[in-house]
Amino acid sequence: MPRVGFHEIAAEVRRKIEIGDLAPGSAVPSESVLAEIYQVSRTTVRRALVQLEDDGLIEAKQGRGRFVTSETGRAPVRTDKKYEQVADTIRRELAQGKPPTGERLEPVDGLAERFGVSTGTVRKALAVLEGEKLISAVQSQGWFAGDLAGESNRTLSVAERLRQAIVSGEIAVGSILPGEPTLAAEYGVARITVSRAFAALESEGLVENLPGRGRRVLSQT
């Protein structure tokens, strides 16, 4: 099957609703089923379903799934302003480190309650933020702050730079490495990235953590 995106999936489900293959009130196939049919991630499927929710063609019922709306002739529900406001608020909170990179966001239901909007509106806001690489979806676990794939690469990069400096003698044995805030500013990354890089170097026996003092470079012998 050719590679498809969420626009194509939304269009196909919309066509099935229009021709009656999915009748008013009937259940829409689950995210996992659609992901298997179209050979895409559940995130891609979720974005397609959120689009159909915002078009007023389907609705989510907590604990039951998504269903074709009974009033198929009604005008699409306009939620642009709402989802943009939700996305903007979460965006500002992320910029303030709330939550920190790598930490889990509030559940969709919790965000919907906090902002006084539907879960479909929240999911659309989260899809926007994911497209901006500000958050990442982890299957069966929820949404997390930061671009986790990119964060992993940055951790490896910071660890490698420190490793080379230690091996070459640029950073002397016995010296205390700069703190996480200093290195985060120097490398242009989050503190958690530096913390994870330190953890990698500790596991390799290149540095040790001295409580209250920082990380000390160990002898390579």
What CATH code is carried by the domain that includes residue 184? 1.10.10.10
**How distant, in Å, are the alpha carbons of 14, 192, 205 from that of 7?**
10, 35, 49
Residue type, 29: P
Cβ proximity of 105 and 134 under 8 Å: no
Q: What is the mean pLDDT of the chain?
A: 84
Give pLDDT tens digits for 82-129.
Answer: 888 899 899 989 888 888 877 889 999 899 888 887 888 898 899 889
In a domain, 73, yes or no: no
**How distant, in Å, are the alpha carbons of 97, 111, 136, 176, 198 from that of 180?**
15, 31, 24, 12, 9
Give first-to-last CA distance, the chain, whole Å: 55
Lowest mean pLDDT segment, chosen from 9-23, 76-90, 180-194: 76-90
Query: In this structure, are 155 and 126 located in the same domain?
Result: no
d(CA 173, CA 179): 16
Place of tokens 């990179």: 101
In a domain, 201, yes or no: yes
Q: Return phi, psi of residue 163, to 5°.
A: -60, -45
Domain coverage including residue 168: 149-217
Query: In this structure, are 97 and 39 located in the same domain?
Result: no
Domain boundary among 146, 173, 200: 146
Query: In this structure, are 88 and 63 located in the same domain?
Result: no
Residue 73 has pLDDT above 80, yes or no: no
What average pLDDT does range 129-149 have in this prediction?
A: 82
Specify the pTM. Answer: 0.42
Place of tokens 């044995």: 173
Count of the separate structural domains present in the chain: 3
In a domain, 75, yes or no: no
In a domain, 74, yes or no: no
Query: In this structure, are 199 and 165 located in the same domain?
Result: yes
Give the pLDDT confidence score for residue 210 in this predicted structure: 93
In a domain, 91, yes or no: yes
Query: In this structure, are 155 and 142 located in the same domain?
Result: no
Give pLDDT tens digits for 149-173.
Answer: 776 777 888 999 999 999 899 999 9
What average pLDDT does range 5-21 have in this prediction?
A: 87
